[in-house]
Structure 1
Amino acid sequence: MVCLACLLPLFLVPIVNILPLLFDFIMGKIYRVFGWEYRKPDRVPPACPYKPPTSSVNKQAEADGEPNPADPVKPGTVDVKKD
């Protein structure tokens, strides 16, 4: 036998996934009553949180074991506090 708390996510996931669509539908109806046009906002496509970074420069520097060189400071560009 399965407890009800274990079955709860099976019913909540579809409801949570349909909320943005339901919101757009209801807002479209409300805007239509007032004679306005409701435009759906652009949604960000889902991204994989486990995707590794694609920076090959950092990987190459780590493989060489050398630290990244610091930018040289020119003598005239340093901010000096003047009283």
Structure 2
Amino acid sequence: MVCLACLLPLFLVPIVNILPILFHIIMGKIYRVFGWEYRKPERVPPACPYKPPTTGVSKQAEADVEPISADPVKPGTVDVKKD
């Protein structure tokens, strides 16, 4: 015998997957009542998180940039609040 809590995901997953489709169908019908045209928004294809980006900083561009040198701070010249 299997508990009902274990079977619940089997019924919820298909329902959750159908929700976006039902949303677009309902929105299309609502827009049609008002005489407008409903267009589904364009979806961006999922990107692979492990694939390196196609555009990147080249090594030549990194070599052309000069490092910014920070001015050394002397211990006696630190801003001191004077009243």
Does TM, scored on the shorter chain, surpass 0.5? Answer: yes
* Count of residues in Structure 1 that have an aligned counterpart in Structure 2: 60
In structure 1, what residue type is equivalent to 2:12? L
Instruction: Note the residue ranges of structure 2 that are not aligned, 5 or more in a row.
Output: 54-64, 71-83
Task: Give the TM-score normalised by structure 2.
Answer: 0.58
Instruction: Note the residue ranges of structure 1 that are not aligned, 5 or more in a row.
Output: 56-69, 76-83
CA-based RMSD of the aligned residues comes to: 2.9
Say whether residues 1:7 and 2:7 are aligned partners. Answer: yes
Partner Cα separation in structure 1 for residue 52 and residue 33 of structure 2: 48
Alignment correspondent of 1:26: 26
Larger radius of gyration: 2
1:56-83: CA deviations, max 9, x gaps?
xxxxxxxxxxxxxx951279xxxxxxxx
Q: Percent identity?
A: 76
Using the TM superposition, give the Cα deviation of residue 40 of structure 1 relative to its aligned residue in structure 2, in angstroms.
Answer: 0.3
